[in-house]
Amino acid sequence: MKFSRLIEQLTERLRILPSVGPKSAQRMALHILERDREGALALATAIVEACENVGHCSQCRNFTEQTICDICSSDRRNRQVVCVVESPADVLAIEQSASFDGVYFVLMGRLSPIEGITAHDIGLPLLETRLASGDVSEVILATNPTVEGEATAHYIADRASKHGVEVTRIAQGVPLGGELEYIDSGTLMHAFSGRRKVGTS
List residues near its own copies by CB under 8 A: 1-7, 9-10, 12-14, 16-19, 24, 26-34, 36-37, 39-51, 53-54, 63-66, 69-71, 87-89, 92, 95-96, 108
| Least distance between its own copies and beta carbon 198 (Å) | 33
CB of 189: closest distance to its own copies in angstroms?
30
Shortest reach from residue 178's CB to its own copies, in Å: 20
Residue in 100, 106, 109 with CA at minimum distance from that of residue 151: 109
CB nearer to its own copies: give 47 or 189.
Answer: 47
Q: Which is nearer to its own copies, 32 or 191 (CB)?
A: 32
DSSP states of the chain as a string?
----HHHHHHHHHHTTSTT--HHHHHHHHHHHHHH-HHHHHHHHHHHHHHHHH-EE-TTT--EESSSS-TTTT-TTSEEEEEEEESSHHHHHHHHHHT---EEEEE-SS--BTTTTB-TTTTTHHHHHHHHHTT---EEEE---SSHHHHHHHHHHHHHHHHTT-EEEE---SPPTT--GGGS-HHHHHHHHHT--PPP--
Q: Which is nearer to its own copies, 27 or 162 (CB)?
A: 27
CB of 84 to its own copies, least distance (A): 17
Can you say how many angstroms the Cα of residue 181 is from the centroid of all Cα atoms in its chain? 30
Q: Cβ of residue 158: shortest distance to its own copies, in angstroms?
A: 26
Q: Which is nearer to its own copies, 34 or 181 (CB)?
A: 34
Instruction: Give the C-alpha separation, 167 to 144, whole Å.
Output: 16
57 vs 165 by CB, closer to its own copies: 57
Q: How far is the CB of 29 from its own copies (least distance, A)?
A: 7
* Sheet with strand 166-169: strands edge to edge: 102-106, 78-85, 138-141, 166-169
| Minimum CB distance to its own copies smaller for 65 or for 158 | 65
